[in-house]
Amino acid sequence: MSETTGQNEGLPTLSASAEQVFPTLTPEQIARVAPHGRVRSVRSGEILVSAGDQPKSFFVVTSGSIELVRRSEDADLVIRVLRPGQFTGETNMLSGRQALVTLRIGEPGEVIEVKRDVLLDLVKTDSELSDIFMRAFIFRRLELITRGFGDVVLIGSNFCKATLRVKEFLTRNGHPYAFVDLDTDSGVQELLDRFHVSQADVPVLICRQKIVLRNPSNEEIADCLGFNETIDQGRPRDLLIIGAGPAGLAAAVYGASEGLNVLVLESEAPGGQAGSSSKIENYLGFPTGISGQDLASRALIQAEKFGAELMIAKGARRLACEKKPYAIEIDGGPRISARTVVIATGARYRKLRVENLERFEGAGIYYGATPIEAQLCRDEEVVVVGGGNSAGQAAVFLAQTAKRVHVLVRAPGLAQSMSRYLVRRIEDNPAIELLTKTEIVALEGDTRLERVSWRDNETGAVTTHDIRHVFSMTGADPSTAWLQGCLALDGKGFIKTGTDLTAEDLAAARWPLPRPPRLLETSLPGVFAAGDVRGGNVKRVASAVGEGSIAITFVHEALQG
Ligand SMILES: Cc1cc2nc3c(=O)[nH]c(=O)nc-3n(C[C@H](O)[C@H](O)[C@H](O)COP(=O)(O)OP(=O)(O)OC[C@H]3O[C@@H](n4cnc5c(N)ncnc54)[C@H](O)[C@@H]3O)c2cc1C
C-alpha cells in the first residue's frame, strides 16, 4: 500500500530552519520559564504524554532528553530527540486538542513542567518567549502535516465530492492526515477488506488507528478527533461569536487580546468564504497575495494564543433572545449563554446548479470580477451569469479587456433587475452580447474549465463553446435563517444595525434603552453584527476584518452596562 500525505495549505508555507522548529532556549530564557513551572526528575522510558491525550503540560528539558515518538502496531518511530534547552509542544498546546505524538524520556534527567493554562498566560505577557514558542509550534504542526504524521487515514477518490469535503475539512482545521487514493493505489482493497468496508462506503476515515467512519459528516470527524473536547459548554461567556470567517476571527483576536472570555462557534471550518479563495490580492499588507486558507489559519492561531476558544462543526441553531444573558442553542449540544454576542455568519454566494462547478471554482469559475480576473481573461471570451447590478458592472468592466462578454440571464430581460444606466451600457457595448432565457447546462475541462454549454430555454437548443472563464454573479444569501425573528432584518434578510434601524424597527423589536443602537449593534442591545451578514456591508475580506475588530469596542461598552 502506498500513501500520499495530506496537504499543508492551511498553514504558513515559510521554509524553516531546524533552529526555528526546535530552538534551544538560552539559560536566561529558561530562567524566565522556570518560576511558572516545577522542576521534575524523569527516568528513562517514562511517558510524559501519550498520543491521544489532551496536552495538560508543556516541558522544557534541563538535563537528559525527551523523545518524540510515533507509535504504531509494528514499531515505535522516534521522530526527534529534544536536548537541554529545547521544549515540547505544537499548536495543540493552544487549541487543547489531542497530542499527535508521544513524549517519552530518553536519557534520564530533569524537566521543567509548566501547566498549559500557565503557559497560555506566559505567552500573553512575555513577547520574546511568545515569538519563540509560537513560531516553533506553527512549524512543528506544518511538519506533521507535510509528513502526514496525524492520527487519520483517509481513503477516497479525488473525483468524489464527499472525499473532497473531508479533505477540505481536515485541511482547514490544520489537521494532518494520510490519503490513500482509490484511483491509483492497487493495495487498497486489502486495506478495505481488513476493515470490512465496501467501496460504496467511501470516503472512509480511519480515526486514531481504530475507529472506522464511513462517509462521515464533519461533525462526526470533529467528535472523533476530539476537536471540541476541552471546551466547557456550561460556562457563561463575556462574548460569543457566531461564525469563524474573517469577521468572526477578527472579533475573536481583538476580544480575547483585550481580556474577554471568548467562545467562537463555527458550523463548518474556520475561514468562511475567504477560506475558499485561492489568493486574496487586495488585503492590506500582502503585496503578493495570501490564500484565504493561510490567512484564516494564521488568524485562528492568533485568536487561540490570546485564549479564545473555537467550537468546530457546531452551528448556532437559535438565538434565545427573550432574556439576558442571551443563550445560543447549538447543533446537538446544550445552550451556551453569553453577555454579548457578535454575529458573523456571513453570506453564501448563490451557486450555479450545474455539475462539476466546485471542481472549476478558482480554475475558470469566479465570484468576483477584479483586475486580477480581468487580466486572466484578457483577449478571451467570458461568460457573466446574472441579471443584477453586480453582473452588469462585471460585464461592463470585463468588456474593457476581454474579447467578448456573453451575459446569460434566465429572465426575458434585464429591466426588472438591473439599473437603467447599466442596461444602456450593456446594450451600447458591441463587445457584450446579452442572452436572455438562457442558462448554463454543462462545464467541461481537465484541470481547468475549457468548455461551457448553455441552453436557450425558448428553443431548447444547447450549444457548446470553447470558453474558459465564467463569472457567477447571481447574488448572495445571508446566513440569518437561524435567527428566527429575533433581530430586525432588511428586505434581503441581512441584519440591520446602528442608524439603519428605523424607529419602527426599534418599536417592533421593543428596544428597551433610552440610547439608540450603537454602530454595528442590532435591534437587540449587546448583540452585534459584523461582516457580510450585516446589511450595507461591503463584501470584502478587509471590511469583514475591520467590522469584526471595531465591534469589540462596542462589546466593551455593552459589558459595562
Ligand atoms: C471564491 C471567493 C473569493 C473571494 N475573493 C475575495 C478577494 O479576493 N478579496 C476580498 O476582499 N474578498 C473576497 N471574497 C469575499 C470575502 O471572502 C467575504 O467578503 C468575507 O469572507 C466575508 O467574511 P465574513 O466573516 O463576514 O463571512 P464568511 O466568510 O461568509 O464567514 C462566515 C462563517 O460563518 C459560518 N456560519 C454560518 N452560519 C453559521 C451558524 N448558524 N453557526 C455557526 N457558524 C455559522 C460559516 O460556516 C462561515 O465560516 C471572496 C469570496 C469568495 C466566495
How many Å lie between the centroid of ligand 1 and the Cα of residue 274?
A: 5
Ligand 1: nearest atom to the Cα of 547: 26
Query: Is the CB of 369 inside a 6 Å radius of any atom of ligand 1?
Result: no
- Would the CB of 505 count as within 6 Å of ligand 1? no
Ligand 1: residue whose CA is nearest its atom 12: 540
pLDDT of residue 3 exceeding 60? no
Sign of CA dihedral 200, 205, 211, 213: negative
pLDDT of residue 345: 98
Three-state secondary-structure class, residue 407:
strand
From the CA of 272, how far away is ligand 1's center (Å)? Answer: 4
Name which of 200, 144, 154 is nearest 180 in CA terms. 154
Using a 6 Å cutoff on CB, does residue 342 contact ligand 1? no
Cα–Cα distance between 214 and 312 in angstroms, integer? 20
Q: How many CA atoms lie within 13 A of 244 on its CB side?
A: 33
Cβ–Cβ < 8 Å for 303, 91: no
3-class secondary-structure state, position 516 = coil
Contact by Cβ (8 Å): 367, 274: no
Alpha carbon of 346 to ligand 1 centroid (Å): 5
Residue 540 has what pLDDT? 86
d(CA 441, CA 454): 5
Per the listing, cell 434603552 goes with: 513
Q: What share of the chain is helix, strand, coil (3-state, %, to 5)?
A: 30, 25, 45
- Whether 6 has a pLDDT exceeding 70, the answer reads no
Q: What is the enclosing helix (H) or strand (E) of 305?
A: helix 292-305
Q: Check pocket membership of 286 for ligand 1, CB cut-off 6 A.
A: no
Q: Is the CB of 263 under 6 A from ligand 1?
A: no
Give every strand in the sheet of 381-385, ordered side by side: 365-366, 470-472, 381-385, 404-408, 432-435
What are the beta bridge partners of residue 102?
Answer: 69
Provide the pLDDT confidence category of residue 16 given band limits of 50, 70 and 90.
low
Interval 73-99 mean pLDDT: 91
Closest residue by Cα to atom 49, ligand 1, is 272
Alpha-carbon distance of 18 to 135, in angstroms, equals 12
Please tell me if the CB atom of residue 277 comes closer than 6 angstroms to any atom of ligand 1: yes
- 278 pLDDT band, cuts 50/70/90, is low
State what percent of residues in the chain have pLDDT above 90: 68
Residue with the nearest Cα to atom 35 of ligand 1? 243
| d(C-alpha 435, C-alpha 334), whole Å | 51
Identify the residue whose cell numbers are 468524489. Answer: 160
Q: pLDDT value at position 400?
A: 94
3-state SS string for 472-510: ECCCEEECCHHHCCCCCECCCCCECCHHHCCHHHHHHCC
Q: What is the pLDDT of residues 511-530, one digit of tens each?
A: 999 999 999 999 999 999 99
Q: Is 318 exposed, middle or buried (0-12, 13-18, 19+ CB in 10 A)?
A: middle
How far is it, in rounded angstroms, from Cα 300 to Cα 302?
5
**Quick one: pLDDT at residue 2?**
34
| Cα gap 239→220, rounded to integer Å | 27
Q: What pLDDT was estimated at residue 184?
A: 81
pLDDT tens digits, 489-506: 999 999 999 999 999 999
* CA-wise closest residue to 142 among 12, 25, 53, 29: 12
Q: What letter does residue 73 receive in the DSSP assignment?
A: S
Cell numbers that stand for 36 in this block: 511558572
- Classified as helix, coil or strand, 385 is strand
Q: According to DSSP H, which parts of 399-540 are helical? A: 420-428, 503-508
State the chain's mean pLDDT as an integer.
90
Please indicate whether residue 242, judged by its CB atom, sits closer than 6 Å to ligand 1: yes
DSSP state for residue 92 in the 8-state scheme: H
In this structure, what C-alpha cell is assigned to residue 543? 471590511
Residue 277 cell numbers, joined:
479563495
Specify the pLDDT at position 349. 84
- Answer whether 256's CB lies under 8 Å from 94's CB: no
Write the pLDDT tens digit of every residue in 102-143.
999 999 999 999 999 999 999 988 999 999 999 999 899 988
d(CA 366, CA 386): 13
Say if ligand 1 is within 6 A of residue 546 CB.
Answer: no
Q: Is the CB of 531 under 6 A from ligand 1?
A: yes
CA separation, residue 378 to residues 179, 371, 400, 402, 422 (Å): 38, 10, 9, 5, 22
Please report the pLDDT score of residue 401 as a whole number. Answer: 95
Q: How far is the CA of 85 from the centre of ligand 1 (A)?
A: 42
C-alpha cell at 384: 457573466
Q: Is 243 in the pocket of ligand 1 (CB under 6 A)?
A: yes
Section 61-89 average pLDDT: 92
Q: Which of 165-174, 225-234, 247-256, 360-369 has the lowest mean pLDDT?
A: 360-369
At 508, list the grid cell.
417592533
pLDDT in tens, 289-348: 888 888 998 999 999 999 999 999 999 999 998 888 899 999 877 899 999 999 999 998
Residues with Cβ within 8 Å of residue 16, at least 6 apart in sequence: 135, 139, 142
What pLDDT was estimated at residue 4? 36
Q: Hey, what amino acid is at 311?
A: M
Residue 191 CA neighbour count, 13 Å, CB half = 23
Ligand 1 atom nearest the C-alpha of 372 is 8
Q: What is the mean pLDDT of residues 40-52?
A: 96
Grid coordinates representing 402?
A: 476581454
Alpha-carbon span 453 to 459, nearest angstrom: 15
Cα 225 to Cα 228: distance, rounded to the nearest angstrom = 9
Q: Are 134 and 305 in contact (CB under 8 A)?
A: yes
Q: Residue 500's pLDDT is what?
A: 97
Pairwise CA distance, residues 276 & 310, whole Å: 19
- DSSP state, residue 36: G
Name the DSSP class of 518. P
Radius of gyration of the chain (CA): 26
Amino acid at 273: Q
Residue 238 has pLDDT above 80, yes or no: yes
- Run of H or E including 49: strand 47-49
- How confident is the model at residue 15, as a pLDDT? 52
User: Which residues, in sequence order, are bridge partners of residue 300?
Assistant: none
Q: Please enumerate in sequence order all residues whose Cβ is within 8 A of that of 471, keeping only pairs 6 or more positions apart, or say none.
A: 366, 367, 368, 369, 373, 382, 383, 384, 385, 391, 394, 398
Residue 551 belongs to what H/E stretch? helix 541-559
Ligand 1: centre distance to CA 247 (Å)? 8
Q: Is the confidence at residue 394, as pLDDT, over 60?
A: yes
Q: How far apart are CA 355 and CA 365, in angstroms?
A: 12
Question: How many other CB atoms are there within 10 angstroms of residue 436's CB atom?
Answer: 16
DSSP string covering 256-309: HHTT--EEEE-SS-TTGGGGG-S-B-SSTT-TT-B-HHHHHHHHHHHHHHTT-E
pLDDT at 5: 40
